[in-house]
Structure 1
């Protein structure tokens, strides 16, 4: 990369944002997309930039992207597989999309490709969905989007938003499961059994072994606290009823796999529309431990952020909002908290990075 496409933390850092995607490959966190609030407008961030954060040195780098670049958008669903980042769905200036894009993160070129399918049908346009990666396939669940009236089969898989419709087009929440195989470029909708979750969006998901988990999310005006598991081999749904105490219902939170048997839940928007900061570490069914941040620091409140697993089961939280993001005049995160970044960088960074460290006791921030 030449100097025109590479800039380091001493010059600039990644801007605050919500509704973006972030993932870790090797020792680098990659950040793309999202939006910020400027005055009374919601502005999408540049789509031809990808931000790299070195987890060891704490140095930011911005690289220019090329190829079939996706539209600027938020609410996308991003995941990685074999060094490639895939993004699906999201909301751009035209509304929700159902396009799938791919970019190699390891070759240093950052060239986007639009992924065209050969067989099957992609999901309908949607955002705020989630994804599991299993056995070389991308498996998507839920989200909020629109369908034409003749595409709505029943209200068990698509819950219409009665406040949003135009002629024969309806918006709403779904609980559909769609799978994409990059090798064959095939979309399919596996037939699932068991008790499926209610249609929802702004939930969180994680993969452990051959099972995909989801927690919470928004169903109409309700924010739930239920936990469901989908066996990704038998396609059987089951609901998990954890022992008390149980995390509060929420949306716009994150769920991160931190080992082969444990999940980490952080942040979100509560039923009362208040940002949350409480951390939960859950080992499969039984909730093992929870913790509040050990100090009263309002910036630990976070929603519509991202959370990635780093080395040694550390959880890296980036971006999001510390206030109710539907209030446009409220800003996104512009603070910094990173126990591996050099102190002289903290005054110049306008991002939020928190490392939750694994220890023998509760997780700490």
Structure 2
């Protein structure tokens, strides 16, 4: 990355919750959210959530973004700047007043995109693009062609549809807007000092043209916010959980991003079927790289922690087999969180997926505890791939051609081994994880490991 790191900025991230996070190449980008400080003195000391520090003052320039290098295992804080030098402050998405909380972030075509947010005063529907090499932000202007933009909101979902190079945005909490067949449910909580609605809007946005498309589709999920929405293969996205008013959900919906048609809701067929409880403020990642062709048939999805019906932390983790729509619980002996950030990093050289968990709220042992954490944890999922699949992957990268055509040029002995191994696997397709019992102790001989990083040090064990 081209931007220099100020020498007085420590390479330790700020503890935060409700931030936006995404992985692009081997870098994990973290922006916004809330941190925590202790207010009061003596027995009157209580923890309070506050907006993150105004890093314009810290850096004597423009806001900073925190970046974790996955290959180097270290954090850095980078200055960001405007796209140009015309003093247009609208091109700098500062934490206050624009993007403080509940924004969503994703990467596409080498750029990082940020949408929406809340700043304790108003919601936003702006789209910003970050050049991760120059560390420059650009506010993308809507052309006004093709359709109306979404309502100003936060706690929605955004995925990148790589086939069309568009952003797909669904749902959230924010202002009411009419049109497009979407529904809006007004919040009736009298303790909230501002008005907002849950919605089920569906939009696509073309970053190249600045055009929004408001999509009127049947069978869409109900209005909801604080759910998870992830890409699971090149043309499909999956939604799980969420909340409207005091109702929390555990349904699964799948969106075909080509036809913009939803399937679902998927719910347990009978009472004793293994299924996660209703939750919100959880996280979810695909365990098979969604860009791979086999993702459509082999995808497994990991759901992590969250906030349950009783407003308490949910400490379980589940894996969904998307093809069969069946769940399996992972027993994880670790302190639960909610409103954490999670992203997946795919190590193609050994077919391993790292689910990286950062920040969030933990359960307080006393009212004096700081419950917003910096702690990072990494769940390592060892992938199982057929010999034929590995040959196809390697040859397609080497020759940039149809991998099926290349297979036939293997030596006779290797070709026979590939065919034999492929025949064995056809009856029982490979999966991306084995059933395990995960504890805080790392299992040396197991395909799934838990690595814990906390305090001031961020090195792997």
TM-score bracket for this pair, using the shorter chain length: 0.7 to 0.9
Structure 1 residue 165, shift from structure 2 partner? 11
Structure 1 residue 52, shift from structure 2 partner? 1.5
Tell me, yes or no, if the aligned pair for 1:291 and 1:364 is still in contact at 8 Å. Answer: no
Q: 1:289 to 1:6 in 2, by over 3 A?
A: farther
Question: Which stretch shows the higher mean deviation, 219-228 or 155-164?
Answer: 155-164
Tell me, yes or no, if the aligned pair for 1:158 and 1:175 is still in contact at 8 Å. Answer: yes
- Structure 1 stretches lacking a partner, 5+ long: 335-350
Q: 1:333 aligns with which of 372, 376, 381?
A: 372
Q: 1:7 to 1:179 in 2, by over 3 A?
A: farther
User: After superposition, what is the alpha-carbon deviation per residue over 1:81-121, rounded to whole angstroms, capped at 9, x for unaligned?
Assistant: 1121111110014221111111011x2x2111111011232
Equivalent-residue separation in structure 1 for 2:242 and 2:201 (angstroms):
15
Structure 1 residue 333, shift from structure 2 partner? 3.4
User: After superposition, what is the alpha-carbon deviation per residue over 1:326-364, rounded to whole angstroms, capped at 9, x for unaligned?
Assistant: x99763433xxxxxxxxxxxxxxxx22111111433355
Tell me, yes or no, if the aligned pair for 1:18 and 1:332 is still in contact at 8 Å. Answer: no
Equivalent-residue separation in structure 1 for 2:354 and 2:228 (angstroms):
18
Is residue 318 of structure 1 aligned with residue 358 of structure 2? yes
Equivalent-residue separation in structure 2 for 1:125 and 1:330 (angstroms):
34
Q: Tell me the equivalent position of 2:186.
A: 160
Tell me, yes or no, if the aligned pair for 1:42 and 1:328 is still in contact at 8 Å. Answer: no
Q: Tell me the equivalent position of 2:75.
A: 60
Equivalent-residue separation in structure 1 for 2:367 and 2:210 (angstroms):
39
User: After superposition, what is the alpha-carbon deviation per residue over 1:21-41, rounded to whole angstroms, capped at 9, x for unaligned?
Assistant: 111122221111111122345
Is residue 206 of structure 1 aligned with residue 230 of structure 2? yes
Tell me, yes or no, if the aligned pair for 1:17 and 1:332 is still in contact at 8 Å. Answer: no
Structure 1 residue 288, shift from structure 2 partner? 4.7
Question: Which stretch shows the higher mean deviation, 16-25 or 237-246?
Answer: 237-246
- Structure 2 stretches lacking a partner, 5+ long: 40-47, 56-62, 83-90, 289-294, 347-351, 383-433, 437-447, 451-461
Structure 1 residue 305, shift from structure 2 partner? 1.2
User: SS state of the match for residue 67, structure 2?
Assistant: strand
Q: 1:177 aligns with which of 170, 192, 202?
A: 202
Q: 1:2 to 1:98 in 2, by over 3 A?
A: closer
- Between the two structures, name the one with larger relative contact order (CA 8 Å, sep ≥ 6): 1
Q: Tell me the equivalent position of 2:284.
A: 255
Q: 1:154 to 1:178 in 2, by over 3 A?
A: closer
Tell me, yes or no, if the aligned pair for 1:96 and 1:125 is still in contact at 8 Å. Answer: yes
More helix by share: 2
Equivalent-residue separation in structure 1 for 2:160 and 2:150 (angstroms):
17
Q: Tell me the equivalent position of 2:149.
A: 122
Q: Tell me the equivalent position of 1:13.
A: 12
Question: Which stretch shows the higher mean deviation, 12-21 or 43-52?
Answer: 43-52
Bigger Cα Rg? 2
User: After superposition, what is the alpha-carbon deviation per residue over 1:112-149, rounded to whole angstroms, capped at 9, x for unaligned?
Assistant: 111101123211110000012112010111100022xx
Question: Which stretch shows the higher mean deviation, 156-165 or 91-100?
Answer: 156-165
TM-score (norm 1): 0.84
Structure 1 residue 154, shift from structure 2 partner? 10
Structure 1 residue 156, shift from structure 2 partner? 6.3
User: SS state of the match for residue 187, structure 2?
Assistant: strand
User: SS state of the match for residue 242, structure 2?
Assistant: strand
Q: Tell me the equivalent position of 1:291.
A: 330
Q: 1:41 to 1:291 in 2, by over 3 A?
A: closer
Q: 1:98 to 1:278 in 2, by over 3 A?
A: same
More strand by share: 1
Q: Tell me the equivalent position of 1:36.
A: 35
Equivalent-residue separation in structure 2 for 1:24 and 1:322 (angstroms):
23
Q: 1:329 to 1:104 in 2, by over 3 A?
A: farther
Tell me, yes or no, if the aligned pair for 1:267 and 1:276 is still in contact at 8 Å. Answer: yes
